């Protein structure tokens, strides 16, 4: 049996650990940016990867009469501009949180009995492109 003793300088070890933490945070920030990109694509393409139901005739008439664009979920653009993707880290994990500052966002995401769901944030998580990005960046299988 051969024994090897390695002496590590504490300062070097601390720097390496901090660099590793920064690398993880940078990767998580990249994932958040990719997620944000997929959500914006949903707005631009009328749902992505699942296309949203078309607007009701009444809604179309209402939007036209008020001079708003006919794109679903876009009236003033405030909800689209209010998506937030936050990366936070603790000593044990990095968390990516997605939410929207507008309180009515959840009704568009999940739908109501009067309005079909037009999800933007959740489908992006299951998009093949996002899974491939995770695999590429982390070298791990996205589940």
* 103-130 residue pLDDT tens: 998 998 889 999 899 988 777 767 777 7
Q: Is the peptide bond before 102 cis (omega within 30 degrees of 0)?
A: no
Q: For residue 68, count other CB atoms closer than 10 A to its CB.
A: 14
d(CA 66, CA 79): 18
The predicted model gives 73-91 an average pLDDT of: 84
Beta bridge partners of 98: 85
Bigger pLDDT: 95 or 4?
95
The per-residue pLDDT for 140 is 59
User: Percent of the chain having pLDDT more than 90?
Assistant: 15
Pairing, β 83-89 against β 94-100: antiparallel
The per-residue pLDDT for 59 is 92
Beta bridge partners of 84: 99
Nearest to 101, CA basis, from 115, 121, 87, 117: 121
The per-residue pLDDT for 31 is 81
Q: Which of 3-7, 87-91, 128-132 has the lowest mean pLDDT?
A: 3-7
C-alpha Rg value of the chain to the nearest Å:
22
User: 42, 124 in Cβ contact below 8 A?
Assistant: yes
Bigger pLDDT: 83 or 25?
83
């Amino acid at each position: 049996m051969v024994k090897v003793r390695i002496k590590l300088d504490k300062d070097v070890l601390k720097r390496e650990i901090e660099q590793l933490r920064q690398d993880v945070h940078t990767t998580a920030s990249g994932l958040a940016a990719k997620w944000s990109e997929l959500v914006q694509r949903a707005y631009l393409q009328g749902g992505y990867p699942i296309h949203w139901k078309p607007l009701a005739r009444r809604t179309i008439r209402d939007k036209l009469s008020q001079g708003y664009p006919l794109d679903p979920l876009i009236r003033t653009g405030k909800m689209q501009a209010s998506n937030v993707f936050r990366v936070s880290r603790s000593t044990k994990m990095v968390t990516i949180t997605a939410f929207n500052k507008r309180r009515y966002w959840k009704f568009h995401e999940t739908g109501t009995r009067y309005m079909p769901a037009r999800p933007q944030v959740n489908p992006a998580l299951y998009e093949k492109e996002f899974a491939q990005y995770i695999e590429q960046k982390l070298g791990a299988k996205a589940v």
